[in-house]
Chains A and B, each alone.
Chain A
């Protein structure tokens, strides 16, 4: 069993489960704790099969490049920056998952701040750029 989730994260998962945009939820240390059906298509894997994925592991699944196709290291990706700075980050990027096709995405990483200014994690909302 994984650790207990905060009510904010439980409600975020419920929201993610009923919207069509790809959403990834990471906890305060960057562990990928949930991704929705739309994100399963991007990641080319199912959450039921992988369960939670530690930060260093799931960063290896994903290759990320900026708009000029220059690789973006894990520490500079929106999710990581949002975790470290507790600020929202929005950035257009190219992304490839497990050798699949490159897709251009607008990545929006929104820190979730709870009671007593506690950092709960980050909600990452993706828009696929047509």
Chain B
């Protein structure tokens, strides 16, 4: 499968000359199967650009939302395929303990926050609440599991027909409250089983270690925790993702370098930059 990064920034779109290398669009990743299945992971502002590339012959798109924080849904209303009457769009995402996915999405996709209501979208829209057991979407087997991040938030494990695995955990704080981290047992670590043995793990890396100490409980990982989590999960290739909006390209290069020197991971690490494409 092919995995393309359309938005790698966390929290807030961050356009500008000093963020152009890693990119300023918020979370969005496209996963293309070799038999044509297309998954869109999150609908941050990166989804707008992705929408302009979708072929007119495509008849179905599946959007898998990890959660409904603004940086993961802000681009949804600007995803051009939503306005195609000939297209089936399936949106998968978590309900909260008391509100369904439709109600939660309508809070954004309705005036005054957005001029078009969810019910007015021309496409054939179907909503699915997760986690709800294993899912089959086209050629992919998809598992969703709740992970440690404020509010209902899931991570996704996507397996293709050849057994290749991509795990997507863009907003994730597995170290929260842990007596020691990394904990030795993946099954007792948030997201540990979703990421186990992943060929490609796209993971939250928002903070430096000192920044994390001041933001415990905010739902994100430090670069070092991300690298330690990758080792615990025995991931083969890790992509640091969801970069903090306050980090310029130069700072990200420095922070990544320091974390790599300290942790010395034994697996491949490629810091996520907008426009990158991975063959898995």
* Given A10-B148, A14-B177, A15-B177, residue A1 in contact with residue B187 (CB < 8 A): yes
- Cβ contacts under 8 Å, A1 to chain B: 185-187
Q: Is B267 interfacial (CB-CB < 8 Å)?
A: no
- Could you tell me if A7 and B95 are in contact, using CB atoms closer than 8 angstroms? no
Contacts A1-B185, A11-B177, A14-B177 known; A116 to B132 CB distance under 8 Å? yes
Q: Taking A4-B193, A10-B148, A115-B146 as contacts, is the C-beta distance between A18 and B188 under 8 angstroms?
A: no
Known A-B contacts A1-B185, A15-B177, A115-B97; the reply to A10 vs B190 at CB < 8 A is: yes
Per-residue 0/1 for A61-100: is the Cβ within 8 Å of any B Cβ (1 yes, 0 no)? Answer: 0000000000000000000000000000000000000000
What is the minimal beta-carbon distance from A28 to any residue of chain B, in angstroms? 15
User: Is residue A6 within 8 Å, beta carbon to beta carbon, of the partner chain?
Assistant: yes
Q: List the B side residues contacting A103 at CB < 8 Å.
A: none
Contact A13 B97 (CB under 8 A): no
Give complex CA distance A3, B190 in Å.
13
The SS class assigned to the B binding surface is loop
In the complex, residue of chain A having the shortest beta-carbon distance to the beta carbon of B97: A115
Please, how many angstroms separate the alpha-carbon atoms of A90 and B107 in the complex?
A: 40
The digit string for B105-132, where 1 denotes a CB below 8 A from any CB of A, is 0000000000000000000000001011
**Contact mask for chain A residues 1-31; partner B; CB cutoff 8 A; 1 contact, 0 none:** 1111111101101110110000000000000
Q: Are B94 and A10 in contact, CB atoms less than 8 angstroms apart?
A: no
Alpha-carbon separation in the docked complex, A113 to B179 (Å)? 25
Interface size on B, residues (CB 8 A): 23
Q: Knowing A17-B179, A18-B177, A18-B179, say if A5 contacts B145 (CB, 8 Å).
A: no
B-chain residues with CB within 8 Å of residue A5 when the two chains form the complex: 187-188
A6 to B147, CA, bound (A): 8
Q: A15-B177, A18-B177, A115-B131 are in contact. Are A7 and B190 (CB under 8 A)?
A: yes
Residues of chain A within 8 A (CB-CB) of B94 are 115
Complex Cα gap A13–B179 (Å)? 10
Within 8 A of A (CB), among B37-59: none
* Min C-beta distance of A9 to chain B, whole Å: 8
User: How far does the alpha carbon of A61 sit from the alpha carbon of B146 in the complex, in Å?
Assistant: 34
| B146 CB contact (under 8 Å) in A6, A15, A17 | A6
Report if A14-B193 is in contact (Cβ < 8 Å); known contacts: A2-B187, A3-B187, A115-B131.
no
Interface residues of B in 89-106 (CB under 8 A from A): 94-95, 97
| B residues in contact with A4, CB < 8 Å | 145, 187, 192-193
Report chain A residues within 8 Å CB of B146.
Answer: 6-8, 114-115
13 A-B residue contacts at CB 8 Å?
A4-B192, A5-B188, A7-B145, A7-B146, A7-B148, A8-B146, A10-B189, A10-B190, A11-B177, A13-B188, A115-B146, A116-B95, A116-B132
Q: Which 4 A-B pairs have the closest CB atoms?
A: A14-B177, A4-B193, A7-B146, A4-B187
Chain A residues proximal to chain B, CB less than 8 Å: 1-8, 10-11, 13-15, 17-18, 114-116
